[in-house]
Amino acid sequence: MSEKQLLHTDMIVSKALELGFSACGISEARALPDHAEKMDQWLTLGNQGTMSYLERNREKRTNPALLVEGARSVISVLFNYFPGGDALTESRYKLSKYAYGKDYHQVIRDRLRVLQHFIESFTGPIEARVFTDSAPVLDRAWAQKSGLGFIGKNTCLINPRMGSFFFIGHLISTLELAETPASITDYCGTCRRCLDACPTGALVDAHQLDARKCISYLTIEHKGPLPAAMQPQFDHWIFGCDICQDVCPWNRFSKTHDEPLFVMSEALRAMKDADWEQMDEERFRLVFKGSAVKRTGFDGLKRNIAFVQQNTDKST
C-alpha cells in the first residue's frame, strides 16, 4: 500500500465523520463468494417472499466490478438514527425507529455525493456510484468486510461501540485506497435474545430470517391481506418492527442521533389512536411528507392499522 493511498484513506474517513456519518471503513473491491453462496441458499428456500427484486442481479450484489467498471475500492459508511427518548407517546401504535424522520435514502445519498466531490477535489474525476439500500449491493456484508461491525444472529450489522440502529451506505469507485482494519469478530456468543423475542418466529435460526414471517416485511413490503394467524403477534406494529434490535444487549451502547432531518415532526408526534384509525389520504400525505412510510402507501398503512386494531379489540 502506498503512502498516497494511506493518506487518501485517512482523508476520506475524516471527511465522512465530518459529514455526520458515525463510522467509515474501506475494503478492496473483490467478489464475495461466501456471501453469494449464503444468499443463493436463502433465496432457494423462498425466504424472500414476494421481494422478487432480490432474485435479480445476483452477481452484482457480491461483485462490485459489475456495478462500477474497474472498481477498486468500496467505501462503507454508517449513519445513526437512534432516536433516544423520542417516541410515539400519544398512541399505542408503533412505527419502527428508522421511520420517525425524513426518508434516509435521500439524506444518505446526498452526503455520499458530497463525499465523492470531496474525493474528486484531490484525485480529479473518478468513476463512482453511491448506494444505500436500493441497489444490488449487500450492504451488511460490505460494511462487515470494511471492519464496521459483525453480522448478529438477528441478521443486522452490529457495531460494538454503537449497537445496530444505523443505516448503511456505500460509495464504490475506481479509486485505489488502503483498506481499514478488517472485520470485527462475532460477539453474539451464546446469546439468543433476538431469536427468543421475535414474536412470529421469523428468525428461524441464527442468521436465518424468513421474511415471510417477519412483521417488517409484512407491514412494509407485502401486498394483499396479512396472515390472520399472526395477528396477535403483531402487537401494535404498523410499519416495520424493532423487537430483535430492542432486545439486543449491544444496543445499550446506542447514542441519540443529532441529525435534524431524522427528528419526528410535530404532526407525527401528535397522532392519537383515533387519528390513526380515522386517517384519510390528505392527513397521510401531510404527516408522512418525505417519509419512508410512503413506501407502504396510504392503503398499506390503513391495512396495517385495521389489522392490529382488530387484534386489540379482541384481546381487551
Nearer to ligand B12, 221 or 235 (CB): 221
168 contributes a contact to ligand SF4 by CB under 6 A: no
Of these residues, 10, 34, 133, 210, which one is catalytic? 133
Of the ranges 10-18, 194-202, 261-269, 292-300, which one interacts with ligand SF4 (CB under 6 A)? 194-202
193 contributes a contact to ligand SF4 by CB under 6 A: yes
Within 8 A by CB and 6+ apart from 266, the residues are none
Which one of ligand B12, ligand SF4, none is in contact with 211 (Cβ closer than 5 to 8 A by kind)?
ligand B12
- Tell me which residues in 4-43 interact with ligand SF4 (CB under 6 A): none
Q: How far apart (Å, rounded) are the C-alpha atoms in residues 219 and 237?
A: 8
Nearer to ligand SF4, 209 or 279 (CB): 209
Nearer to ligand SF4, 226 or 261 (CB): 226
Q: How far apart (Å, rounded) are the C-alpha atoms in residues 224 and 159?
A: 36
CB of 67 to ligand SF4, least distance (A): 28
Residue numbers of the site for ligand B12 (CB under 6 A)?
A: 35, 38-39, 42, 51, 54, 96, 98, 132-133, 137-141, 151, 154-157, 164, 166-168, 186, 207, 209, 211, 214, 216-217, 220-221, 240-242, 244
Which one of ligand B12, ligand SF4, none is in contact with 305 (Cβ closer than 5 to 8 A by kind)?
none
Known catalytic residue at 313: no
Contact pick of 136, 227, 249, 297 for ligand SF4 (by CB under 6 A): 249
Contact pick of 152, 159, 279, 304 for ligand SF4 (by CB under 6 A): 152
Four-residue CA torsion sign, 116, 117, 123, 126:
positive
Helix 104-123 to helix 3-18 angle (10° resolution) is: 140
Within 8 A by CB and 6+ apart from 152, the residues are 158, 164, 186, 188, 194, 248, 250
State the DSSP string of 96-165: -GGGSSS-HHHHHHHHHHHHHHHHHHHH----EEEESSSSS--HHHHHHHTTS-EE-TTSSEEBTTTBT-
Q: How far apart (Å, rounded) are the C-alpha atoms in residues 150 and 158?
A: 5
Cβ neighbours around 117 below 10 Å, total: 9
CB of 267 to ligand SF4, least distance (A): 26
Place of cell 427468543: 196
> Which residue minimizes CB distance to ligand B12?
240
Q: How far apart (Å, rounded) are the C-alpha atoms in residues 162 and 174?
A: 30
111 contributes a contact to ligand SF4 by CB under 6 A: no
Nearer to ligand SF4, 162 or 215 (CB): 215
Listed in sequence order, the DSSP H helices in the chain are 3-18, 33-44, 58-62, 104-123, 139-145, 193-197, 215-220, 243-246, 266-269, 273-277, 281-287, 297-315
Which one of ligand B12, ligand SF4, none is in contact with 39 (Cβ closer than 5 to 8 A by kind)?
ligand B12
CB of 103 to ligand B12, least distance (A): 12
Chain residues binding ligand SF4 by CB under 6 A are: 152-154, 188, 191-194, 198, 200, 202-203, 209, 214-216, 241, 243-244, 247-250
Supply the residues annotated as catalytic. Answer: 133
